[in-house]
Every structure is written in structure tokens, then in C-alpha cells.
Homo-oligomer: A and B are copies of this chain.
């Protein structure tokens, strides 16, 4: 049993992080307690600083420490391409791919009648305005291959239809390094339909 004053409360907070349960939160807090100077104090400070300075980018919805995120302010990324993603995690994943050199639009979710998430909550009118304002030639819909993701993709395509911008979506197929034997039938079918000349 830890000291009831502060350590238990800290363990409870840590246990609310994804990937940490009560047991691993306890273990993490013990390591922190042993490395008070090298790890716990810097972590507390980094968390406090980011909690204060982090904000949603006014333009694309990315999380950043500035009002407009570094991707939106980078002049070399004004390529006339906007990649629409569901979540900041997806934006980070796209950036790790190091292929896309344009800008983003983070929806922050998918359309959902049950959760009362409509086009306004996802910033879809803002996306339509950006396409006109920024002289965008291509909108890449990088939404997840779920029913909700695809419904949202179709809605966005309809909303962008009047602007005559080119709308594309990520290719579906066999992942790099993937073995056919371990792939689901739907992916194999999609890869076969989208086969291309070698």
C-alpha cells in the first residue's frame, strides 16, 4: 500500500493511460519514485508545459504548440494537396511514411448519427472553404477502411463535388512484407481487382 496522500492518486491517474493497467501503473510509478530527479521531475515539467501550450491548429486541426501548426506554416508544403485524416494519430502515421508532402485536414472523428457527430463537428464546411481559398487541386481521403470511415469519405466527396477538385483515396492491397496466406479474403479480393501491370 502506498502513502494515501499523493502516491495512490498518482497511480490512479497513470492507470488511466492507454496500455497501462493498475498493475503496470504501479510499476511505472515505482520506477518514477526511484528516478525522482532524472525522470519524474522532467516528465512533470514536460507534461505541464505541453498541457499549457498544446492547442488545435486553427487551419488543419493538428495538435501543436503554436496557433497554426508547423505543417500548415511550412511554405514547401503548399503543394495544392490536402490529405483528410480522421485523427491526429493518423496524421502522425502519414508523416512517418515520409511520402506525402502536402497539408492535412484532421476531422477528429467520423460522422455518427448515434453520437450526434455531424459535418460541422468534423469541420467539413471548413475543408470545403479551404479547397477554394488555398487553390487545392487534389483532396486525398485517407480515412480508415471501416464502415464509418467510408460513409464519411462518401459524404466529403459529395460535399466537395461542386468545387470540381480531384478526389482520391488510398490504394487498398497487400501490405509491404505481407504474406498472402495471412491476409483476409477482402484484402486479397481488393488487391486482385486493383491489379496493375508490372
Contacts and interface: CB of A to CB of B under 8 A. Distances in A.
A13 B43 contact: yes
Interface of A is mostly: helix
Interface stretch (A27-35, A129-137, A156-164): A27-35
A77 to B, nearest CB: 12
Contact of A10 (B18, B27, B33, B47): B47
A18 to B, nearest CB: 5
Contacts of A41: 48, 51
A116 interface: no
Interface of A: 1-7, 9-10, 13-14, 16-20, 24, 26-28, 30-33, 36, 39-51, 53-54, 63-66, 69-70, 88-89, 92, 95-96
10 contacts: A2-B63, A5-B53, A13-B46, A14-B43, A17-B28, A18-B31, A40-B47, A41-B48, A41-B51, A44-B44
